[in-house]
Amino acid sequence: MQYNFINNITSNGVKGSAILGIFSDLSVNSLSKSINATNLKKIKAAIKKSGFGGKINEKLCIYESVGSKFEKVYLIGLGDKKEYNEKKFIQAVKMFSKICKSELLENIYFDVNSFLSINIDKNWAIRNISIQVNGVDYLYNETKYKTKNKSNYQIKKINFLSFNANDSKKLKKYFLQGKAIANGIKHAKKLGDLPSNICTPTYLSKYATTLSKKSKKISVKVHSEKEMKAMGMNCLLSVGNGSKEPSKLITIKYNGSNKNDKPIVLVGKGITFDTGGISIKPSNAMDEMKYDMCGAASVIGTLSAVSELNLNMNVVGVIAAAENMPSGSATNPGDVVTTMSKQTVEILNTDAEGRLVLCDALTYIARFKPKHVIDIATLTGAVLVALGKVASGVLSNDDKLTQKLIASSKISHDYIWELPLWDEFQSELDSNFADIANIGKRYAGTITAACFLSRFTEDYSWAHLDIAGTAWNEGSDKGATGRPVSLLTHFILENAKSL
């Protein structure tokens, strides 16, 4: 996609479509920097004639009514200017991207100034517009499995209006940040949407390896089951016991700084399909359990974004990948296994398998001497009860890390909400037959799951993101969301040495 930052339209015969923001007061004064007076009058007349009210998410297309300047002009309602904020800006930009896709717009003039208000930063706005326009072309397009797919739609060129030449260099940086985030989200969406007979642990490992072919700063190591057994990862291996698909431990290193600089480590749950094992799930909507590797997909997507941005820092991604199936060789409820940390676990429920693969991965990553560790997992249905599909849950042993993540959540609008990790919950995991049980009692399932993980993270700063509610959409919009790639990339950007 080509992009330019320009002040206004000076030439006649422009081939393209204009996108303009209009508040509910219907004032067109903010458009005066990029649209001449004659065409402003035509736009104003078209608004009056149409009954367009400027409400949030309202749209109006004006055909051939602005002279030779544009092929079409699209007005997007922004609502009451006094109530306008970042959230409504993102709503408007999402509406813009929908218009582009439905109308197959290729050459666009986007009047950024008309979408801003006094409390919205222009750099932040460009990054978020970029995330949307660079992500609008995502389409599950595996022609091997869907033979009647449409071809991907792409925006060919976008011209950002209301900028002078001095703005261009700085704004280009924020546009490229948004592009990298969008590309990372597309990686995560693709992996999440693939069926489990394709996206196996082996496929995940091969996909991760492709990142190293795109950047000399990335190296990938894949540990086999034999190697994991030698390291004592019996808990991780127990999850894949019932499957013919071999489990994998995938390590992706991005070396963007001095090797002695402590890395940020991301750990992703990669259950490529979760039947529940012997504690088998109900059949209703079990097909959605192909999304149980979205934590792993978000790690790959974030490492892709970090690499594309060429950040001056070290980041490590670790993926614990397995397929959870019932069979004669599967782990049974009541079995006791020894983790890499030497703690023993009584597996009361084989459907609480995410924490079993993560606990060994969280022990393994201590060798990297991390600055911070964030694990990302579709871990509990209980988080849906608590937070629905709006926010991911966050639980942590480090208040400062939590606040950094919350700050990045507010910037990215990839929402998270903190749940307590209090000592009072730890006793829920007591076992008569091992050091710890893999499930708690009936209540506080998201918290007790995090309590389990906390037993393996005592030596470093750690946060857990439960994305079971946010990783995919249901119904007619069914598909992976790519969350929380945006949150994680914003967090890394905020903590990078050089932006």
> How many CA atoms lie less than 13 Å away from 33 in the CB half-sphere?
15
Q: How far apart are CA 12 and CA 68, in angstroms?
A: 6
Of 276, 267, 275, nearest in space to 249 by CA: 267
Q: How far apart are CA 237 and CA 232, in angstroms?
A: 9
Q: What is the largest CA-CA distance in the chain?
A: 82
Residue 393 to residues 74, 130, 265, 378, 414: CA-CA distances in angstroms?
A: 38, 27, 19, 10, 11
Treating both helix axes as pointing N-terminal to C-terminal, what angle do 122-135 and 86-103 enclose, rounded to 10 degrees? 30
| AA letter at 414 | D
Please state, as a whole number, how many other Cβ atoms lie within 10 Å of the Cβ of residue 183.
19
Strand partners, 395: 464
Query: Which among 179, 189, 269, 355 is annotated as catalytic?
Result: 355
Active site residue 355: yes
Range 117-128 burial, b when 16+ CB lie within 10 A, else e:
beeeebeebbbb
The answer to whether the CB of 194 falls within 8 A of the CB of 273 is no
Q: How far apart are CA 20 and CA 52, in angstroms?
A: 13
321 three-state secondary structure: strand
Sign of CA dihedral 62, 63, 64, 69: positive
Residue 248 to residues 232, 270, 361, 473: CA-CA distances in angstroms?
A: 14, 9, 11, 27
Sign of CA dihedral 338, 343, 349, 353: negative
Range 477-498 burial, b when 16+ CB lie within 10 A, else e:
eeebbbbbbbbbbbbbbeebee
Active site residue 281: yes
My answer on whether omega of the bond before 282 falls inside 30° of 0, hence cis, is no
Query: Which among 281, 371, 389, 410 is annotated as catalytic?
Result: 281
Backbone φ and ψ for 21, nearest 5 degrees, come out as -95, 135
The answer to whether the CB of 312 falls within 8 A of the CB of 257 is yes
The residues that are catalytic are 281, 355
